[in-house]
Chains A and B, each alone.
Chain A
Amino acid sequence: MEGKILNPTKTDSAISDLLIVSSSPHLRSNESVKRIMLDVIIALIPAMIGSVYFFGLNALKLILISIASALFFEAVIQKMLKKEISINDYSAVITGILLAFNLPANAPWWIAVFGSGFAIIIVKQLFGGLGSNFMNPALAARAVLLTSWPNIMSNFVLPGADAITGATPLAIMKYGAADAGASATVAQAAAELPSILNMFIGNRGGAIGETSALLLLIGGLYLLIRKVIDWKIPVIYIATTAVFLLLLGVETDQLVYHILGGGLILGAFYMATDYSSGAITPIGQIIFAFGAGALTALIRVKGGFPEGVSYSILLMNVAAPLIDKFTAPRVFGRSK
C-alpha cells in the first residue's frame, strides 16, 4: 500500500470500481415533473366531471378526443424531430384537457383535433417542448380557433339534455340576450342572467370547463395545498380584474357575474399559473397577474369581445421574459 500513489482509476480495492462518484448534492427531493403534472390533472377532474354533468356526453367526447390527439401529436412530432418521446410526463394530457375546456360543448370533433395539434406541434414542440413554450399552448390554440372559426367557437350551449344554444352571461351583459350589438340595460340583462348560485355551481352557458366556479376552485385549492401553484397569481389576477371593472364603470351588482363568468377562474388558477409561459421572479409574478387582470377588464368592457381572459394571459405571456428581466430578485448581500 504505502509508497504508492493512490490513483482514482486504480482498482486495488474491489469496491472502488463500483462506487458512483458525482458532484454534490447526493440527495434529491421527491418532487418530480410527473407528480406536478399529475396534480394538475387531479385538480381538473372535478371540473371535468362537472362538465359532463352539465353538458352531457358531448363534453366528455371532446375532452377525450382532445387528450388523445394531444398525446398523438406529441408522440408524432417528437418522433419526426428525432427527440425522445416524452408523452409519459402527462404535460400533453393537461394541454388536451385545458383546450377542451375552452371549447363550446357542441363544437365538432375536428375542432378539438386541430386545436390540440396546433397547441402541441406549433406552440409547444416547435419552440423546444416542455418548459420552453413562451405561450400557454391551450390558450394560443383557442385564440387560433376563435379567429379561424368564430361561429363555432362562440356558439355556446346552455346546460341541459337538449343542448339549446344561448348566450353566455358575459355576452348577455355586453350585448343583451336577444341580439348582439344592442347594449342591454342592467335591469333587462339581470332578468335573463342565471342566478348567482347557478353561476357559482356552473349551471350556465359557456365553454365546457369554465362554467363551474365551485369545481374549479376545489381543484385550485388542491393545487394550493400541494404547493403546485402559489396563491398570489390567481388572487391578484382576480382581484385586479374586479378593481379595474369597477374603475371602468361596471355596476357592482354585475361584478359577481364578471368574476364567476367567462373563463376568469379557469384562467386565473390553471392558465396564468402555467410555469413556462409565465413570469418566474416573485415580483414578476405579481406584475404578470396584475397586468392580466387589468387587460381582462379592459377587453371585457372596452374591447370587441365579451370575454378577455385568454387574450390577456397571452399578452402577458409575451411580456413575461421582459418582466422577468426587470424584476430579478436582489441577491443576498448586494445593494442593487
Chain B
Amino acid sequence: MKLENLTFKGGVHVPHSKELTEKKSLIYANEPSVVYIPLHQHTGAPCEALVNVGDRVKIGQKIAESSAFVSAPIHSSVAGIVKSITNITTPTGMNSACIVIESDGTKEVHESVKPKESLDKLSSKEIISIIKEAGITGMGGAGFPTHVKLSPPPEKKIDTIILNGAECEPFLTADHRLMLEMPEKVVFGLRAIMKALNVEKGFIGVENNKMDAVHALKSVIREDDKIEIVTLKAKYPQGDEKRIINAITGRKVPSGGLPMDVGCVVNNVSTAKAIAEAILEGKPLYERVVTVTGNGIKEPKNIVVKIGTKFQEVIDQCGGFNGTPGKIIMGGPMMGLAQFSTDVPVIKGSGGILVLTEEEALAEKVSPCIKCGKCLEVCPVTLQPLHISAHALKKNFEGAERFNALDCVECGACSFICPAKRPLVESIRFAKREILAKRKKS
C-alpha cells in the first residue's frame, strides 16, 4: 500500500488561506505581566487550586489538579505571586475558576522541571504518568486529557498510533511550523506514545500542502523506527480523527464508537511535541503555539504563548487590529469559537486566534433550501444534513435523531457548501444538544 495522497469520502475544498503565516518561523511572545489561568481547560472534571492568594509560584509549578481520572493538572506559566483566585469566562464559553498570577519577571523555573529518564528506561506506566503529571491535553482543540486516551481498557487491543498533522482548518499553521521546526520532538513524542501503548506501528499523517513538513519529518526518522510518514489529500475535514483513521488504515470507527474500537489511538502532532518536552525536559504544558492570523490582524504570526495570556495582549504583539475587527475566533474558521471579547486567556486548546474583518464577519442572507444535495455530497459521515436541519429547526428532535443527528461530527462542511447559506451544522448541533439532554433526563 502506497502511503501517499490518502483520503476519505466526502469533504470540501476550503480555500486554505495559510499563506499569511505558513512561512513565518515560530517566535516567543513577550513575558506577560499577569496571567489568568482557568482551572477548567479540558474535557472532564475541573481542577482544584493547590495554591493560595499571596503564594509565590515558579514556572512549571503545579498549581491545580483534580482527583478525577478524566482531568489534567494545571501549571503556572510564569514565576510570580498569586494575586487572586476568581471566576472568569474561558474562550470556550465556560465559567471557570481562574488563578491570577502576577509575574515578577524572574522567570524562575520550578525544581520539578528536569529531564526524565531516557525513553528506553521508562516503562509504559511511567510514560503515562509523566504525561498525566505534565497536564497534557489534546492540542488539536478538543482538549481531551492525553493520559486517558493512552489508557484504553485492557480488552481494547491497540495496534496503530496515528499522529494527526493534517491541520485541515484554514488559516492555522501552528502544527505545520512545529513539524517543520521541531520534527525530532514530534517523532520522539510518537515513539513515546508507541512505547506507552506497546504498539509496533506508527503513522504521521500530513496534508500534501505541507510537503516541507513531510520532508522534515522523514529526515529525522531512524532506521529502527516503525514509523511511516503519510501524505493526505488536502481536504476538509481530513483532521477529524475518524477521517484520518479511515484514510490511513481503511478502518471505519463504528457509529458512537472511539478510535480504540478499531485499534487506533490518534494524537495531534502538537500533543506529541508536548509529550516529548515532558520527557526530555520535564516541562509541563504551560505554553503553546498559537497562530494569530486573519485579514483583521496587521502582522500575522505563529507565536509561542504562555497559557493564561490575554488574547488582547497576544494580538497587540502581532501589530494589533487591521481596521475594525468583525469577528474574533479561537481556533480556525470552520470549527473555531467566536469570542465576545479579547479579554479572555489563551488556554491549552487555543491553536489559533483568527480575526476576521467586518466585511468577512457579516452573515449572509439565508434563503430556502433548494434540495441541491451538496450537503449530502460533502458530509464525511454520509448524513443528510438538510433533513436533520429541517427537523431541528422545527424542534422535532425525534425526527433529527431518526436521521442520525448524533453521528454528526460538526465539521461544518455542509454549512460551508450550502448555496442557500442555511444554518445546517448550527441547527444540527442544537438538535444534538437537545437529544443528549433528553437522554440524560430519561
Interface residues of A (CB under 8 A from B): 1-8, 10, 12-13, 15-16, 18-29, 31-33, 35-36, 86, 89, 91, 128-132, 275-276, 278, 280-282, 328-335
Contact = CB atoms under 8 A, between A and B. Distances in A.
A24 B382 contact: no
A230 to B, nearest CB: 9
Interface string B76-120: 000000011011110000010000100000000000000000000
21 contacts: A3-B86, A5-B87, A6-B89, A12-B343, A15-B325, A19-B340, A21-B338, A23-B338, A24-B335, A25-B412, A25-B416, A26-B338, A28-B421, A29-B416, A36-B370, A36-B372, A280-B386, A332-B246, A332-B252, A333-B254, A334-B254
B341 A6 contact: yes
Interface in B57-93: 83-84, 86-89
B381 A331 contact: yes
Interface in B306-354: 312, 321, 324-329, 333-344, 354
Contacts of B382: 329-332
B373 A275 contact: yes
B6 interface: no
Contact of A333 (B83, B252, B333): B252
Contact of A332 (B381, B415, B417, B426): B381
Contacts of A1: 343
A15 B170 CA distance: 25
Contacts of A26: 327, 329, 333-334, 336, 338, 354, 356, 361
Interface of B: 9, 12, 14, 34, 36, 83-84, 86-89, 95, 100, 170, 242, 246, 252-257, 312, 321, 324-329, 333-344, 354, 356, 358, 361-364, 367-374, 376, 380-384, 386, 403-404, 407, 410, 412, 415-421, 423, 425-426, 429
Contacts of B252: 332-333
Given A33-B370, A280-B371, A23 B423 contact: yes
A59 B304 CA distance: 69
A332 B370 contact: no
A5 B367 CA distance: 39
B325 A19 contact: yes
B153 to A, nearest CB: 20
B341 A19 contact: yes
Contacts, number: 193
Nearest to A329: B382
Contacts of B100: 2-3
Contacts of B423: 23
A281 B84 contact: no
Contact of A20 (B9, B246, B338, B369): B338
Nearest to B402: A328
A329 B417 contact: no
A13 B342 contact: yes
Closest 6 CB pairs of A and B: A25-B412, A16-B341, A8-B340, A31-B419, A27-B333, A23-B426
Contact of B341 (A5, A13, A24, A130): A13
A8 B338 CA distance: 12
Given A2-B83, A280-B371, A25 B415 contact: yes
Contacts of B88: 5-6
Contacts of A4: 86
B368 to A, nearest CB: 5
Given A2-B34, A25-B335, A27-B170, A86 B255 contact: no
A-side binding surface: helix, strand, loop or mixed?
loop
Nearest to A335: B254
Contacts of A132: 368
B89 A7 contact: yes
Nearest to B14: A27
A20 B361 contact: yes
Given A15-B324, A333-B254, A89 B336 contact: no
Nearest to A279: B373
A329 B255 CA distance: 14
Nearest to B86: A3
B242 A332 contact: yes
A332 B336 contact: no
Contacts of B257: 333
A21 B340 contact: yes
Nearest to A9: B340
Contacts of A2: 34, 36, 83-84, 86, 100
A333 B253 contact: yes
B420 A33 contact: yes
Contacts of B9: 332
A24 B336 CA distance: 6
B407 A331 contact: yes
Given A3-B100, A26-B356, A333-B253, 4 more contacts: A6-B89, A13-B341, A25-B425, A130-B368
Contacts of B87: 5
A31 B341 contact: no
A330 B420 CA distance: 25
Given A275-B373, A281-B384, A331-B382, A21 B339 contact: yes
A12 B426 CA distance: 29
Nearest to A23: B426
A22 B376 contact: no
A29 B321 CA distance: 25
B426 A334 contact: no
B376 A20 contact: no
B370 A275 contact: yes
B149 to A, nearest CB: 19
Given A5-B88, A16-B343, A332-B255, A24 B370 contact: no
The winner among A33, A282, A329 for most chain B CB atoms within 10 A is A33
A32 B364 CA distance: 10
A333 B335 contact: no
A131 to B, nearest CB: 4
A31 B420 CA distance: 8
B407 A334 contact: yes
Contact of A280 (B14, B335, B376): B376
